[in-house]
Amino acid sequence: MHRYLLVDGARYHNALARLYARNEVLEVEPLYFGSPWHSAADLGPLLVSTDSASALFYEIETSAELRASAAVLESRALADVVASHLRRFNQVTDVSGAATLLRYADPQVAWFWLHSYDADALPAVMGPVTRWRIAVPPSALLPQQPRWHDFASAPPAAQSGLPAGLLGYPQLSALQQAYQQQLKERLYCWLQENHQTALSVLPEQTRDNWFNARLADAEAFGLSTERSIAIWCELALRDGNDFAGNPQGPYRRWLTQAPRELPATPDQRLQHYYRDRATAPIRDDENHDRLA
């Protein structure tokens, strides 16, 4: 049985240089080599072959950075067979016919993606990989001890065709969940850095639900950019969760008092409002009793 490390080059900063600098024998196969994304191979999936006693397998157990950037694969197949199979997922097609890059080496994406397949479909996805070991994605919103999950599969009788290369509706839903989780993490870290006191008003156990509700509100409002969603969450901390819907709130007053024609899209209007309020920046010592 061979053990491999599947590393996401975008998550593991300066991955190739760090791997090549290690004082051990490694073979690193950038899975974007020979593809249209060759120039970004260092930021794509990297398949690392090494001795089963490599310190890398110890480090992934103890390093939060590596756990968030890599998965452990087991296979009876040699590295070139595993690499050939994984390359099928570099670009996948969904049920609408749209092609997209799949971040299958990102453990958080892979967690949701692999969970979206039932027991009958998973073997075709895993191919020659008999075990795909991923750290359960931690949440900055609700810290917990590291936990691991093994996706296990017997190799399929035939590996040609790969029907799982088509993303169905369950897979699209799973990838959207992965994006939403990563977005919440980024929003939380940004608010923690810039508005820590305001954020601390939210009880820790309610924060995940609060972010879920704000993302749903932002979607219902028509926001489509990450910057606008970040502004939405920031304003909700300051002016209350219903800041945009409250007839007596500052946003509605701004709409009625604006002396010029307003931008056409919800994103543009919200960002315009935010710029107009730049002279009154959010302060952590303001009253946030409207968050409940």
Q: What confidence category does residue 146 fall into, taking pLDDT thresholds of 50, 70 and 90?
A: confident
Please list the alpha-helical segments (H only) found in 116-168: 122-126
Contacts of 15 (CB under 8 A, 6+ apart): 7, 8, 9, 42, 46, 69
Q: What confidence category does residue 259 fall into, taking pLDDT thresholds of 50, 70 and 90?
A: low
Q: Residue 260's CB: how many other CB atoms inside 10 A? A: 6
Average pLDDT score over residue span 109-118: 94
Convert the pLDDT of each residue in 183-204 to its tens digit. 998 999 999 898 888 888 888 8
CB burial of residue 59 (10 Å; 0-12, 13-18, 19+): middle
Mean pLDDT taken over the chain: 87
pLDDT of residue 289: 33
pLDDT of residue 73: 97
Residue 284, CA distances (Å) to 39, 126, 160, 195, 241 in order:
44, 48, 58, 6, 17
> Could you give the angle at which helices 250-257 and 266-276 cross, rounded to 10 degrees?
100
Q: What confidence category does residue 249 fall into, taking pLDDT thresholds of 50, 70 and 90?
A: confident
Average pLDDT score over residue span 164-186: 88
pLDDT of residue 139: 74
pLDDT of residue 164: 56
Convert the pLDDT of each residue in 36-65 to its tens digit. 999 999 999 999 999 888 999 999 999 999
At 56, which amino acid appears? L
Residue 111 has pLDDT above 90, yes or no: yes
Convert the pLDDT of each residue in 2-22 to its tens digit. 999 999 999 999 999 999 999
pLDDT of residue 165: 67
Q: Where are the domains of the chain?
A: 2-174, 195-279
Q: What confidence category does residue 285 fall into, taking pLDDT thresholds of 50, 70 and 90?
A: very low
Whether the full predicted model's pTM is greater than 0.85, yes or no, is no
